[in-house]
Structure 1
Amino acid sequence: MKMMKRVLAICSLPLVSAASVYDYRADLASVTINNGPVWYDTTGGTIQAHGGSVIKVDSTYYWIGEDKLHDSATFRNVVCYSSPDLKNWKWVSYPLKPSSHAELASSKIERPKVIYNQTTGKYVMWMHYENATDYSLGRVAVASSNSVCGSYTYHGSFRPLGYESRDMTVFKDEDGSAYLMSASNSGTGTNGSLASFKLTNDYLNVSTFLGWVAENGHREAPAIAKQGGRYFLITSGASGWYPNQARYMTATSMNGPWSAAQNLGNSSTFYSQSNFILPVQGTSATTYLYMGNRWNPSRLGDSRYIWLPLTLNGANATASLEWRSQWNIDAVTGAVSYPNLVNHALGKTATASSSASGFAASRVNDGNYQAEWKASGVTWPSWWQVDLGATRNIQEVDISWFLYNGSEAYHQYRIEHSTNGTTWTTIDRTTNKTYGFTTDPVNFNARYVRIVLVNAVLWNNPNNWYTPTLYEVQLLGG
């Protein structure tokens, strides 16, 4: 008889009240997640688990992902870390290495996802497989092991039922059925549509093609969760290493049909790309954790991890994602809490250097990531300003910027603040090279805050044709 282990699968979990999940309290078991900085393991090394997934075995979480320490897309290792609390990660092993099989010696291995098969007692790893030189193969690869961080036996790479497969994920349902969702080609080009498959009972292959999802939508980076009897599929657009707007779809069956895509988060998904959804089922609450990649294509080993609480409501078929530079989670109880910060800009009087018809300055601080202010013409610099009504202490400035898919740009800007509207102090951010979303830790007291849009630098065009645009500005403080 095989020893049975209690493994947390991505499955249907009960919806808990907002009060129980977001009760702000200091719990001794609570740990702080900091989004943006480099994350280190317990030995002081940088965590290399890019594109990975988390699986819980008994009371321990295991994070399995890509080693990019060599700053290359080529395969170096799959890495496994362990943690009791989702914060303190211990390096455990390299479950899969280039020496594991001849086919891996010169290759790319991306987005490793591990699920546990209760029948066979095997941990099964699915991956995106390519040769070392390009992305022409469009295959999945499969490996398995008797232990979650043990040495995996490599079973080879293939196109599932002959279909191309690139960015992918696997999802295990509560009844033990498992599924593959991957960026594929329905006849309109690479990554033109998502392909959905059911896996064989041993999880080592696919048995059935379930159909096309988001057909001709050019979506990739799929991540799946289930809440309240409803499946949620989060994807990104196809824009290479650059961030873009995440969208989600829902269905009552993995066979579909899937709903029309809805926007999730802001225009750049807070400068991240969807990767995995981890349900943290605690003793008092269940939290769904969005795991995103903040890619750095020039130094892939320095790419960062963006983890945010994800609100899923199966009854209403809705999902929402908010930015948190810092937040706390208790992995035992499942409870989440946040620093006591207020968005002082929300709903306050806003003005601008100019406004195009229908794009008023008030749209920047209305709490809606999808509503933007736009200047009346291509005039740089331009500015947007808010009157907070009284002097407030500001500790963080979060800005959601405009991005054009295929011609993305980073913005050079200044933050100016004043207590009287006459004398101004400047924080110079004209050296910024972050795309889509910026978060600036600050500490100033002001009634008036102005964002000066100095320039937009397009990666593929020396000329700035952008119209000055802001989607949302949040001024957070006590």
Structure 2
Amino acid sequence: MRSFILKKAAAVFSCLSFTAALFSCSSEAGTGTVNQKKEMVIAASTFMLEGGSSADNVKLHWNAVEDAAGYTLTRSDGVELISKTRALTNVLFYDDYGIGDNTYTYTVKAFNSNKVQIASANVTASKGTVTDAVNTFNNSPTVETGVTGLIRKSTLVFDGVYYSYSIGRNGGENVNFIEYTSADGENWDEGRVVVTGDKETYPDAFYDEDLASCKLESTCITSHNGQIVIWSHYEEYGSTYTKACVYCAAGTPGGDFKGYGAYQPQGNASRDLTFFEDDDGRGYLISATLGTMYMYRLSSDWTVVDDSFECVTIQENEWREAPCMIHHDGWYYLFSSRQNGWLPTAGQYISSKTLQGLSGQTGQAIGSKNTFGSQSGGVVKIGNQYAMMANRWSGGWEVPDPVLKELGLWSVQRMLPITLKDGYAFYDFYSTVKYDCEQGVMIPVQRGKIVSYLGDTGLSSTAASGCDGKYAVDGNWIEDKKFYRGSDYDFDFVVNLGSKYNISGVDISFYTLQGSEAYCTYNIYGKENASDASWTLIKDCSSNVMMNFNTWVFEPTETAYKYIKIDILGEKRACTNGSNAPHSTVNGSWCTGLYEVQVYGQ
């Protein structure tokens, strides 16, 4: 099975290339029970530091345990990485740098408020393999660096010929499915239209009147028994989303295609969708509507929904979209995005040992409160590793990303490496990811050590009642209750790094009130000693217009700093709210605060 996805509305605007996403699912649908997850799991992944030559750094994640007041972390050589005196409720992450050629077992323990151990877990890790990965995915592009998408050859290969497919228009309301061929997977022909809504221009293509006036989104392209099968979210042409149908076209590579109609599966409205294949050869669709997702089984040739199989209801009334399914070590993982138009939203996942077991599962937070400035999207598999290809629909924002706007890009993706363990999933933001799809290699690269981790924040402005600056430096990007928040909408956040470092980057996740997004203007300063009379400007962000997640990458500072200050100058609206237009000043503290700050240094 080979499959690809065109996510959300990309296909509406032009004849775009697609994002590859390989899915491999198993287990019999409708049988068995959901296996209970372990009470506690710790997962490990390896990464490189910018400028380094070895992936001998270990990123550790563990899940939150009910009634836990804190966690300790020890290494098999006796090193106590997180002690009881540093244990916090929200600390669910740790970076262990420079383990060299050693193999370590890490043990995490959860303690209740009485310091009694209530759960534990362990994981073994050694340095990762480093090869000459030929491609670098830049998650923090600038106008100077530009943007490069995921580079991989099409996996749709028949009789030595590579095939790829896209969706385009002639400038009118009709839609065309276009097939391209290549002898080497790199150089492509001009393409031919195989299914069309314009029979006069393309008389040799299969004419489908459903394509005469429509828009197609969230398109999945796969192969089955020597046939290409294409599924899409189908809507009438224009800005409305009232049709809410699925549409399928299929055919022989290099041969004839046909359309199978647009309809609402089993009477349910259907919008964002994804496809996956069971290892018994059955195909399934998962689609989202307003509030709820549904899973449908397909016919034996995957071209129509099988009405003999009653759809499975998933995350009912949880308002999820952009579903994407993978299967790993006996667990199904379904990732999704919060419904919020084009704006960045919180990602979630559910997991189960069986397909039917996905029903009734409640979404679990993953990544960050705003998917690191993106929306949960498709998942790509490179070798034995997975990455979330999160979507930044900047062109749909009232205040777009200025870099993407200057580059003339409506949207880009962020590549977030995923770690999976026993039904739990985690993904992280790295400024760059090295990869090679043909070699099956993916190596995250962090711009430096996280030097702000659990740093003292006592020099910050007075926190609002119930808030504490320590929760903004605990490495927890998903917690929505324990963030630092200034008592006014102009405030300073200061972290003591404990030692002096040459600063190479700062990531900040600002408080987000969904539907009333705002952005902060601010400056980043450094100071060598607490007694120094003045601060040195590191990064001028006084013209910033990026909402929620902000990432800044720069050459390491010549001066090593012990103290870093985020000087918040004010908040402005990123979205229209009543009579309040974008860029208007927010008068009040309702949208202020920081979820998390990470300072990188060397």
Q: For the residues of structure 1 that align with 2:554 and 2:372, how far apart are their CA atoms?
A: 19
**Please, which of 483, 490, 507 is the counterpart of residue 381 of structure 1?**
490
1:48-101 Cα deviation digits (max 9, x unpaired): 99xxx996346999876667999x9x8776677899999x89787476665464
Amino acid at match of 1:246: G
1:11 aligns with 2:44: no
Q: Secondary structure at the match of 1:157?
A: strand
Are 1:138 and 2:244 counterparts? yes
Q: Which amino acid aligns with 1:310?
A: I
Structure that is richer in strand per residue = 1
Give the SS at the match of 1:302.
coil
> How far apart are residue 143 of structure 1 and its match?
1.2
List aligned pairs for 1:160-199, cutoff 5 A.
160-184=265-289, 191-199=290-298
- Structure 2 partner of 1:34: 138
2:452 corresponds in structure 1 to 345
Pairing 1:108-123 to 2, within 5 Å after superposition: 108-118=215-225, 121-123=226-228
1:322 lines up with 2:424 in the alignment: no
SS of 1:362's equivalent in the other structure is helix
The code of the aligned residue for 2:415 comes to W
Aligned to 2:370: 268
In structure 2, the residue matched to 1:187 is none
SS of match in other structure, 1:247? strand
Distance 1:64 1:429, change over 3 A: farther
C-alpha separation in 1, matches of 2:442 and 2:153: 18
Q: Of residues 213, 218, 240 in structure 1, which corresponds to 2:314?
A: 213
Shift of 1:196: 1.4
Aligned to 1:287: 385
Q: Which residue of 2 aligns with 1:438?
A: 550
Cα distance, 1:212 vs structure 2: 1.4
Q: Work out which of the residue numbers 381, 385, 396 in structure 1 matches 2:505.
A: 396
Contact 1:413–1:451 (CA under 8 A) maintained in structure 2? yes
Percentage identity across paired residues of the two chains: 28
- The residue type equivalent to 1:453 in the other structure is I
**In 2, are the aligned partners of 1:410 and 1:457 still within 8 Å (CA)?**
yes
Q: In structure 1, what is the Cα distance between the partners aligned to 2:259 and 2:374? A: 30
Q: 2:343 aligns with which of 234, 242, 265?
A: 242
Distance in 1 of aligned mates of 2:358 and 2:564? 47
Gap change, CA 1:144 and 1:28, over 3 Å in 2 = same
Structure 1 regions of 5+ residues with no counterpart?
Answer: 185-190
Letter in 1 for 2:274: T
Using the alignment, how far apart are the partners of 2:241 and 2:24 within structure 1?
Answer: 32
2:260·2:304 contact (CA, 8 Å) conserved in 1? no
Q: Contact 1:48/1:66 (CA < 8 Å) preserved in 2? A: no
Structure 2 unaligned segments of length 5 or more: list them.
Answer: 5-20, 27-42, 49-54, 56-126, 199-206, 398-404, 581-585
Structure 2 residue identity aligned to 1:126: W
Aligned residues: 448
d(CA) in 2 for partners of 1:270, 1:405: 15
Asked whether the equivalents of residues 76 and 98 of structure 1 are also in contact (C-alpha less than 8 Å), the reply is yes
Helix, strand or coil at the partner of 2:310 = strand
Matched, 1:455 2:570: yes
**Per-residue CA distance 1:280-333 (angstroms, 9 max, x = gap):** 2x3xxx0112112100216795211112211122xx210001001201123234
Q: Which deviates more, 339-348 or 268-277?
A: 339-348
Distance verdict in 2 for CA 1:231–1:25, change over 3 Å: closer
Letter in 1 for 2:314: V
Report the 3-state secondary structure (helix = DSSP H, G, I; strand = E; otherwise coil) of the residue aligned with 2:470: helix
Q: Secondary structure at the match of 2:357?
A: coil
- TM-score, reference length from structure 2: 0.66
d(CA) in 2 for partners of 1:226, 1:83: 31
* Root-mean-square deviation over aligned CA pairs: 3.9
Aligned equivalents of 1:387, 1:209: Cα separation in 2: 57
Match of 1:204 among 303, 312, 318: 303
Residue in structure 1 matched with residue 523 of structure 2 by the alignment: 414
Cross-structure match for 2:357: 256
Cα distance change on mapping 1:322 and 1:76 into 2, 3 Å = farther
- Aligned partner of 2:535 in structure 1 is 424
Q: What is the letter of the counterpart of residue 311 of structure 1?
A: T
Give the whole-Å Cα distance in 2 for the aligned partners of 1:66 and 1:47: 18
8 Å Cα contact 2:513-2:591 kept in structure 1: no
Q: Deviations over 1:243-278 (max 9, x none)?
A: 111010112222224432110101110111122112
- 1:443-477 Cα distance to aligned partner (Å, 9 max, x none): 32422111122222231333444242111111123
| Superimposed CA distance per residue, residues 112-152 of structure 1 (whole angstroms, 9 cap, x where no aligned partner) | 1112213xx211111111111211100111111323x9885
Look up the SS of the partner of 1:56 in the other structure.
coil
1:169-214 per-position Cα deviation (integer Å, ceiling 9, x unaligned): 1111222111111112xxxxxx111111111111111113322111
Contact 1:244 1:403 in 2 (8 A): no
Give the secondary-structure state (helix, strand or coil) at the position aligned to 2:356: coil
Amino acid at match of 1:380: Y
Aligned AA for 1:220? E
TM-score normalised by structure 1 residue count: 0.82
